[in-house]
């Protein structure tokens, strides 16, 4: 298994925290600094760690990541429960592949940027006259579920998703109205992608589903993307997390930091853009 500069975020059994010394924030000139906003947590099982993957929001929370070598709880506001101490901060420091060392005092958390948005739109060109129901009798929840069931049974399926952007009433719906409007099968586009036989699949789906429909050709099947995701976790030690976006035909993965070499290796292995990496630690210029 090829190691990468990352550690797997682990769920931890937590109880008491130890005392920390005054942080030494000196760094070697020219050494790369990184920044991140996230949870720092110390439990009876380990010292302060920078949680860069998921956080189990129990009480106390549970998470893990690289050790912080010079953390001082007396310098920050924090919470404690059952012997565990934690808080959210923006940190700047160096990372040696194992541990993180502060080069300046931690600060209150920056507003976190939203994660990447999946494209839930419709890739087909809008028909003349706009998206519309073609058969009211089969533009029902039952028919939609049957069409999705058909798609999921096909070995060449790449993805299936619903586009509600054509539902103009959603933006003006009250809280009491929104559920019924959002779930109306006549006000959405059923999108399905396959890696082959698109015309045949569209004809089959039209026998089942009478609402708006878009069927397109994709390069990789959902099964292939899931297999790539599995290979990543088997072959590259230390992925923080990963996911499959069958709509864009990509596998996304989070690592602690990548200098570009791992992304280049994955582009060479799977093709450019098939696997996209995001680094939890961002370089400071």
Distance CA 114, CA 55 (A): 16
Q: Is position 283 within any domain?
A: no
**Is residue 17 pLDDT above 80, yes or no?**
no
Domain assignment of residue 257, yes or no: no
Residues linked to residue 35 through DSSP beta bridges, in sequence order: 92, 282
- pLDDT of residue 172 exceeding 80, the answer is no
User: What is the pairing mode between strands 282-284 and 33-43?
Assistant: antiparallel
What confidence category does residue 171 fall into, taking pLDDT thresholds of 50, 70 and 90?
A: low
Asked if residue 255 is part of any domain, the answer here is no
pLDDT higher than threshold 50 for residue 10: no
Banded pLDDT at 165 (limits 50, 70, 90): confident
Which residue range forms the structural domain that includes residue 164?
136-217
pLDDT at 113 over 90: no
User: Is residue 132 over pLDDT 70?
Assistant: yes
Q: Is the pLDDT of residue 13 over 80?
A: no
pLDDT of residue 24: 46
Final residue of a structural domain among 162, 193, 217: 217
pLDDT (0 to 100) of residue 181 = 66
pLDDT, mean of residues 139-147: 97
Which of 217, 236, 252 is where one domain is finished?
217
Q: Is the dihedral of CA 47, 50, 55, 57 positive or negative?
A: positive
Q: What are the tens digits of pLDDT across the range 35-72?
A: 999 999 999 999 999 999 889 989 999 998 999 999 99
Question: Is 260 a residue whose pLDDT tops 70?
Answer: yes
Instruction: Among 58, 85, 102, identify where a domain stops.
Output: 102
Asked if residue 29 has pLDDT above 60, the reply is: no
- Domain-located, residue 258: no
For the question of whether the overall pTM of this predicted structure is more than 0.75, the answer is no
- Which distant-in-sequence residues (6+ apart) come within 8 Å of 276 by Cβ? 250, 251, 252, 253, 263
6 lies in some domain? yes
CA dist 235 and 246 (Å) reads: 22
The overall average pLDDT reported for the chain is 84
Taking alpha carbons only, the member of 257, 246, 210, 285 closest to residue 100 is: 257
* Domain presence at residue 146: yes
Q: Looking at the domain assignment, is residue 112 inside a domain?
A: no
Residue 141 shares a structural domain with residue 84: no
Instruction: Using alpha carbons, select from 204, 186, 45, 216 the residue that is nearest to residue 119.
Output: 216
Q: Is 140 among the domain residues?
A: yes
Structural domains in the chain (count): 2
Q: What are the beta bridge partners of residue 89?
A: 38
Q: How confident is the model at residue 25 (pLDDT cuts 50, 70, 90)?
A: very low
């Amino acid at each position: 298994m090829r190691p990468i500069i990352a550690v797997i975020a682990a769920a931890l059994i937590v109880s008491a925290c130890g005392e920390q010394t005054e942080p030494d924030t000196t760094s070697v000139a020219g050494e790369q600094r990184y920044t991140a906003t996230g949870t720092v947590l110390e439990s009876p099982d380990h010292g302060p760690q920078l949680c860069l993957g998921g956080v189990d929001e129990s009480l106390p929370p549970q998470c893990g990541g690289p050790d912080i070598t010079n953390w001082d709880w007396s310098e920050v506001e924090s919470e404690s429960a059952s012997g565990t101490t934690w808080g959210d901060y923006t940190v700047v420091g160096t990372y040696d592949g194992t541990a993180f060392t502060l080069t300046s005092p931690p600060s209150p958390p920056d507003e976190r940027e939203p994660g990447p948005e999946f494209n839930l739109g419709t890739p087909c060109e809008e028909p003349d006259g706009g998206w519309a129901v073609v058969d009211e009798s089969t533009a029902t929840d039952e028919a939609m579920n049957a069409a999705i069931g058909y798609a999921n049974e096909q070995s060449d399926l790449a993805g299936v998703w619903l586009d509600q952007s054509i539902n103009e009433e959603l933006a003006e719906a009250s809280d009491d109205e929104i559920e019924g409007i959002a779930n109306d099968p006549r006000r959405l586009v059923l999108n399905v992608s396959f890696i082959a036989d698109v015309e045949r699949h569209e004809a089959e789906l039209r026998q089942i589903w009478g609402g708006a429909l878009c069927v397109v050709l994709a390069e990789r099947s959902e099964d292939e993307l899931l297999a790539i995701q599995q290979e990543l976790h088997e072959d590259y030690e230390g992925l923080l997390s990963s996911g499959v976006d069958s709509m864009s035909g990509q596998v996304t993965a989070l690592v602690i930091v990548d200098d570009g070499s791992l992304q280049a290796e994955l582009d060479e292995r799977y093709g450019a853009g098939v696997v996209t990496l995001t680094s939890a630690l961002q370089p400071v210029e």
